Amino acid sequence: MEALRRRVEDAEASLGTSQERARDAERRGASLAAEVKVERELREVAEVAFANLSSELAQLRDQNGVLEQELVESRAVVGELDNLRHAFLHSCSQLGMKVTNDLHETTRLVLALPTHVRALEENAMEGGIRLSFVVVRSHYEPDVGVELMSEGFAEGASPETLAAFEEEVRPDAERLLAKYKEEFLLRPPAAED
């Protein structure tokens, strides 16, 4: 019986050890289950974050495409503006204005152009009037009234009369202009090689 009792005690000890191992296994299983649950939750969060990032990346790629197209268009506009600036500078040079390649100088030229053109108009008008007086003086004696002509239209001449005179002298004025227009018009500078 002693042997039986020992066997029972050994069996009880073995049962206690097995129960302890079962509790340890149960605790480890619960811990692993909790870790798996946390990992699943983290995976879900990561999948949502990945989907959001993928969507954001697609939007950024679309925006990048739009911005690249706008950059191409902006460069084309800048090229056109630069061509326009060069054409403007060339035109100013043709009008006798001093031109440099300084970007700030272009603004000064734009602002100075009306005054410069006005001066050219006044010079051309002065040259035309002077030539008209010289032509009249070359055909008539000094007492023909060139000085009186310098005072302007005859007093009392109506606008209608002046308009009729203008039409009457137009063909002769055009013929005179054709003959002497080089004195009236600007000559562009000689082309540089």
186 contacts 95 by C-beta, under 8 angstroms: yes
Q: How far is CA 8 from CA 14, 16, 22, 124, in A?
A: 9, 12, 20, 136
Q: What is the mean pLDDT of each run of 10 residues along the chain (193 residues)?
A: 81 86 90 92 94 95 96 96 93 90 87 92 85 84 78 88 92 86 61 40
Which helix H or strand E contains 35, and what residues bound it? Answer: helix 2-94
Domain count, the chain: 1
Judge whether 118 lies within some domain. yes
Judge whether 115 lies within some domain. yes
How much is the pLDDT for 124?
82
The phi, psi pair for 99, rounded to 5°, reads: -120, 135
How much is the pLDDT for 185?
65
**144: containing domain:** 100-184
Pair of tokens at residue 109: 């030229």
Q: How far is CA 149 from CA 4, 103, 141, 144, in A?
A: 158, 48, 14, 9
How much is the pLDDT for 184?
61
Judge whether 62 lies within some domain. no
CA distance 111 to 105: 10
Judge whether 140 lies within some domain. yes
Judge whether 29 lies within some domain. no
Judge whether 156 lies within some domain. yes
